[in-house]
Amino acid sequence: GIQVEQSPPDLILQEGANSTLRCNFSDSVNNLQWFHQNPWGQLINLFYIPSGTKQNGRLSATTVATERYSLLYISSSQTTDSGVYFCAVMYGNNRLAFGKGNQVVVIP
């Protein structure tokens, strides 16, 4: 099956810092989504981004489908940004394949 790799696996940020999370995938995909799993376990949709660049507040994402990677940028991080960020790619029969996530901790 398709492989999805996220880096770095763990990240500690000082509040106010910027960061970049990376997602590499091994094959052509139909779409790509970024999620934030908060400390209560809830999965929040951040971006639906099969290609191009999107921005939503302090977050933005870029997917370069031809080179099989996507980047999630967090600017001016806040403690509420803590949690796990998942990249998921859709392939085949509407299946989402998830990476193992980026564990982000923002300290005040």
Partner 1 sequence: NAGVMQNPRHLVRRRGQEARLRCSPMKGHSHVYWYRQLPEEGLKFMVYLQKENIIDESGMPKERFSAEFPKEGPSILRIQQVVRGDSAAYFCASSPSSGSTEAFFGQGTRLTVV
Q: Which of 28, 48, 80, 107 binds partner 1 (CB under 8 A)?
A: 48
Picking from 48, 6, 47, 11, the residue whose alpha carbon sits closest to that of residue 23 is 6
Q: Which is nearer to partner 1, 39 or 108 (CB)?
A: 39
Among residues 41 and 108, whose Cβ is nearest to partner 1? 41
Q: Is the dihedral of CA 16, 38, 1, 95 positive or negative?
A: negative
Judged by CB, which is closer to partner 1: 66, or 94?
Answer: 94
**Cβ at position 47, least distance to partner 1 in Å:** 9
> Using an 8 Å Cβ cutoff, are 72 and 23 in contact?
yes
Over the range 40-63, which residues count as b (16 or more CB within 10 Å of their CB) and which as e? Answer: eeeeeebbebeeeeeeeeebbbbb
Q: Does residue 34 bind partner 1 (CB under 8 A)?
A: no
Q: Is 93 in the site for partner 1 (CB under 8 A)?
A: yes
Q: Which residues make up the interface to partner 1 (CB under 8 A)?
A: 4, 30-31, 33, 35, 41-43, 45, 48, 50, 86, 88, 90, 93-101
